[in-house]
Structure 1
Amino acid sequence: MTIRSTARTLAAIGAVAALGLAACGSDDGDAAATEGGEIVFWTPHTTPQRLAIQEEVAAAFTAETGIEVDVVGLDAAGANQAIVAGAASGDMPDVVLHRPDQTASWAEQGLLDPDAAQEVFERLGPETFSQHAVDLVTLDGELQAVPSDGWGQFLYYRSDLFDDAGVEPPSSLEDIADAAAALNDAGTTGIVLGTAPGEDYTTQTLETLALMNDCQLFTGSEVSLSSGQCAAALAEYQRIQAESVNGDQDVESTRAAYLAGDAAMTLWSSHFLDELAGLDPNFPVSCDECADDPQHLAKNTGVVGLFTGPDNPTPTTYGLTMNLGITRGADTEAAQLWVEYALSEGYIELLSSATEGRIPVRTGTPEDPDVFVREWRSQPLGADPSAQMPFDEVYSDDVITAVVDGANGFSRWGLGTEHAAVAGSLAAQNALAEDLQSLFGGADPASVAEAMQATAEAAAGGSGE
């Protein structure tokens, strides 16, 4: 590496160029590892608190190996721009923590080193990783990056209100709709979930509910959103939305409604867990009971991570993983050592930078298959370091188990297949969320499925598929 700097957050390619971001520019991995050397690590965890934790882990790695790690905070959009520019100029990071859609794009451009990733994966033990996480970054039979952590989309439900209404916790897509209706009849808004057009949250909600019934974007080489499974999933989505509040719902409105105690259920990622427990001052709990007990909602909320559907007996949900990719032209051996360290000695401390949103998908070691899950369970929860609490002191074993199972058992449209680019494009544009609007107005679910089919076929045709 040619330039050493402190950890910094870069929001766009212009900032990258202005700072003269360090590049690898050398294939001499052996020299880097044996003579110290320096590597650049890009991370999307860019808040000062999270960067500080990652720097601490990097410093410990340097003390052990002599290899310096330049930790660079760079959001996903900035990374997408910067890595293309870096490839053109020869200024590339050595290791990038990134999403599966980025894996697919960068692999197609030849920016990742699959052989380097595979070697690390084999040394750590393939059996220690979630197979779902591995599948998301395996393209044409080749592992492109090493899975690090992930999160799932979960159903949060008010266990006290369910008990009062005599309703069992949902375990299927149909159950969610039935429970929402029952809780509405009992006097509480049954559920709040994404419906606003053009919103990422609505796109995620759609894919979550669709996957529950094995509604797939592609079957083989063909778009399959007009299938019976998709029409049935949309019918349940329509039923669920009818038991919700009027108007468009987004991330902010659904969060606020549940934290105020105004809804019996919501669909949210695991990032909601610290807010729900009153541990994020940016999003305070505001239910009537919360004034006396800020953890009232956490104590009275159950979590379900995986669901079946009328046409799908295999429980699943939606989620996202973060993966450690080694770039072509990296100081390979030094980069591999850093990835191994980040998934072993430094793993739990790195996950603790955002415990609720960084759930281990490497559950343990060959010798102790569950060690990382056990250690992760007691990591700090909360946005304010001075007011954090251990995760397992806030939530029950049942909740934590559901969170881990969801993060290690989800599926995704297109990712890990030759259709990843189409899936990524549809998600980025929220195109299918636009098609949903007629569904919420009472349109026939099968006709909405046909409209989504046409949108996806147009995207596939535009990509050359």
Structure 2
Amino acid sequence: MQKKTIVKISLMVALLFVFSATSFAQTTVEYWTTQTEENRVEVINNLIDRFEAQQDEYKVELVTVQENDIPTKLAAGMAAGRLPAMIESGAENILKLGAEGMLDTNAVNEVVQSIGEEDIYSGALKMLSSPDGGYFGVPFHGWVQGIWYREDLFEEKGLEPPTTWESILAAAKEFHDPENQNYGIVIGTNKDSYARQTFTQYALSNNARIFDENGNIVFNSPEMIETLEYYANLAEFTPPGPNGWRDARDLFLAGRVPMMMYSTYIMDDIGLAATDYAGEEGEMIENLVDKTNFANTMKHKTEAVFGQINGLAFIKSNDQKKVEGAKAFAEFLVTGDNYIDFLHMAPGGMNAVRPSIANDPKYLEHELLEVWGEKSARIASGLNSIGKFGYVGGKVFPEIGNITSQFIVGQTIMRMTESGWTAEEAAEWGQEEMEDALE
């Protein structure tokens, strides 16, 4: 009898142990971020530690992925049967994944509603909206692009700020001095995201689109051909060879170009000399922040502001615990001090998409934002009115992700700047490539 009792007790203890272990086993949430810099990874890991200290249900596993590698990495993950629970990526990648049916939009909409749509800039919401209503991703942070220019040099020469096609081209001609290795402007002329981003603002200002309102590809439209022709003309006043974002940054910091197209991520390089530029193109100009201004609106047939919204998206999963964990971590990241700490990894580059945070004194108390002064608010103000190729007449075309992932716009530009194609030839080639990308 005593032995039976001992056996029963032992079984009960064993079952209790198994039950307890099962009940309190942590769910691992794999989170992919495009923030690959060492100092940013350190901040994110600190935030993960903070999140895990506040609850014991979920453990976050951080994976860093280059933005351009997201599509191929996800394809490999799908083949291997291992996909992340949550990704942080640009709008194009998220729209592409949403169009392919890979995202849990219900989970996204629940997080957006929990935050409150009224506390998210409408421009940011638009960039991640689904054609069927709701959203493909939770807006996280954003940047604005434009022309950064040497206001002191423009004033010396009596030039108008570079806000129109005419004033941009006139200034580029005026400053271009290739014999002394000084150039008029840097714009994207390589087959990369930078070329598409810089070109987009010119196209939008000329009412040139990739899609019409019915979703047809119209890259060979008269408006697009006119934009390509202008862009190729402007590229004559850039440094030799295909140019990317690094060329723009380095040459501007060294004072060898008076204008460059860049996002607000350049603010810390200019404002605090917080840069990995090592002087390859010349010594960095002193007090550059006092000599620099920013034209974020381009005017031609219409006004155009271009920027990017990064969002948090949830991959569909049969494991609801992982989905719930991803939602919990997403809400954690966009709340209060957690959000501010994340944004302060790259202030100016990472702008708050929540007005309540953008106006929070804690957020504004950062040396970079203070150095730029009143320009900071004006620079970030474009977030509410940014435009992109995937949005036409209030409609969203997530298929744009199939086009951007193949760098067709950049390749089109290179055919003009490197191979001497005409704008008409390049537009026809781009049209065919884009149509093929959607088949």
User: Does the alignment reach a TM-score above 0.5?
Assistant: yes
Aligned partner of 1:73 in structure 2 is 63
User: In structure 2, how many angstroms separate the alpha carbons of the residues matched to 1:214 and 1:288?
Assistant: 39
User: In structure 2, how many angstroms separate the alpha carbons of the residues matched to 1:174 and 1:287?
Assistant: 28
**Contact 1:414–1:420 under 8 Å retained in 2:** yes
**Contact 1:155–1:267 under 8 Å retained in 2:** yes
Match among 191, 196, 205 for residue 203 of structure 1 = 196
**Contact 2:304–2:387 under 8 Å retained in 1:** no
Aligned partner of 2:219 in structure 1 is 225
Q: Deviations over 1:294-315 (max 9, x none)?
A: 6421210001112221x21x33
* Cα displacement (A) at 1:449: 4.0
**Contact 1:59–1:69 under 8 Å retained in 2:** no
**Contact 2:196–2:409 under 8 Å retained in 1:** no
Which deviates more from structure 2 when the two are superposed, residues 165-174 or residues 35-44? 35-44
**Contact 1:58–1:68 under 8 Å retained in 2:** no
User: In structure 2, how many angstroms separate the alpha carbons of the residues matched to 1:53 and 1:234?
Assistant: 41
> Counterpart amino acid of 1:209?
Y
User: In structure 2, how many angstroms separate the alpha carbons of the residues matched to 1:64 and 1:242?
Assistant: 56
**Contact 1:41–1:69 under 8 Å retained in 2:** no
Match among 365, 375, 390 for residue 378 of structure 1 = 365
Aligned partner of 1:362 in structure 2 is 354
Aligned partner of 1:58 in structure 2 is 48
> Counterpart amino acid of 2:399?
H
Task: Check if 1:254 corresponds to 2:241.
Answer: no
Alignment of 1:298-337 (within 5 A): 298-309=289-300, 311-312=301-302, 314-317=303-306, 319-329=307-317, 330-331=320-321, 332-337=323-328
User: In structure 1, how many angstroms separate the alpha carbons of the residues matched to 2:355 and 2:408?
Assistant: 30
**Contact 1:224–1:453 under 8 Å retained in 2:** no
* Cα displacement (A) at 1:79: 4.1
Q: How many residues align?
A: 405
* Distance verdict in 2 for CA 1:74–1:300, change over 3 Å: same
* Structure 2 residues not aligned, in runs of 5+: 1-21
Match among 398, 401, 413 for residue 433 of structure 1 = 413
Aligned partner of 1:12 in structure 2 is none
User: In structure 2, how many angstroms separate the alpha carbons of the residues matched to 1:91 and 1:36?
Assistant: 18
User: In structure 1, how many angstroms separate the alpha carbons of the residues matched to 2:279 and 2:28?
Assistant: 44
User: In structure 2, how many angstroms separate the alpha carbons of the residues matched to 1:340 and 1:147?
Assistant: 11
Alignment of 1:156-175 (within 5 A): 156-175=148-167
Aligned partner of 1:42 in structure 2 is 32
User: In structure 2, how many angstroms separate the alpha carbons of the residues matched to 1:188 and 1:434?
Assistant: 22
User: In structure 1, how many angstroms separate the alpha carbons of the residues matched to 2:75 and 2:238?
Assistant: 43
Match among 139, 162, 176 for residue 147 of structure 1 = 139
Aligned-partner SS, 2:255? coil
* Distance verdict in 2 for CA 1:421–1:111, change over 3 Å: same
Aligned partner of 1:271 in structure 2 is 265
Q: TM-score, normalised by structure 2?
A: 0.81
User: In structure 1, how many angstroms separate the alpha carbons of the residues matched to 2:43 and 2:331?
Assistant: 17
Q: Deviations over 1:331-356 (max 9, x none)?
A: 23332221111111311111122224
Aligned partner of 2:397 in structure 1 is 417
User: In structure 1, how many angstroms separate the alpha carbons of the residues matched to 2:76 and 2:225?
Assistant: 42
> Counterpart amino acid of 1:106?
L
> Counterpart amino acid of 1:299?
D
* Cα displacement (A) at 1:322: 1.3
Match among 95, 106, 123 for residue 86 of structure 2 = 95
User: In structure 1, how many angstroms separate the alpha carbons of the residues matched to 2:181 and 2:373?
Assistant: 25
Task: Check if 1:349 corresponds to 2:341.
Answer: yes
User: In structure 1, how many angstroms separate the alpha carbons of the residues matched to 2:280 and 2:370?
Assistant: 21
* Distance verdict in 2 for CA 1:422–1:328, change over 3 Å: closer
* Distance verdict in 2 for CA 1:130–1:46, change over 3 Å: same
**Contact 1:36–1:65 under 8 Å retained in 2:** no
Task: Check if 1:212 corresponds to 2:205.
Answer: yes
* Cα displacement (A) at 1:116: 0.7
* Distance verdict in 2 for CA 1:130–1:457, change over 3 Å: farther
Q: Deviations over 1:354-394 (max 9, x none)?
A: 224212222327xxxx435x544433xxxxxxxxxx11232
* Structure 1 residues not aligned, in runs of 5+: 1-30, 380-389
* Cα displacement (A) at 1:448: 0.7
User: In structure 2, how many angstroms separate the alpha carbons of the residues matched to 1:194 and 1:40?
Assistant: 36
User: In structure 2, how many angstroms separate the alpha carbons of the residues matched to 1:58 and 1:361?
Assistant: 21
* Distance verdict in 2 for CA 1:190–1:284, change over 3 Å: same
User: In structure 1, how many angstroms separate the alpha carbons of the residues matched to 2:242 and 2:429?
Assistant: 24
Aligned-partner SS, 1:149? strand
Q: TM-score, normalised by structure 1?
A: 0.77
* Distance verdict in 2 for CA 1:244–1:288, change over 3 Å: closer
Aligned partner of 1:403 in structure 2 is 379
**Contact 1:120–1:336 under 8 Å retained in 2:** yes
**Contact 2:144–2:308 under 8 Å retained in 1:** yes
> Counterpart amino acid of 2:34?
P
**Contact 1:174–1:236 under 8 Å retained in 2:** no
User: In structure 2, how many angstroms separate the alpha carbons of the residues matched to 1:458 and 1:215?
Assistant: 17
Q: Deviations over 1:391-412 (max 9, x none)?
A: 12321312x1243123443222
**Contact 1:422–1:460 under 8 Å retained in 2:** no
Aligned-partner SS, 1:192? coil
Which deviates more from structure 2 when the two are superposed, residues 151-160 or residues 76-85? 76-85
Which deviates more from structure 2 when the two are superposed, residues 59-68 or residues 110-119? 59-68
User: In structure 2, how many angstroms separate the alpha carbons of the residues matched to 1:48 and 1:106?
Assistant: 27
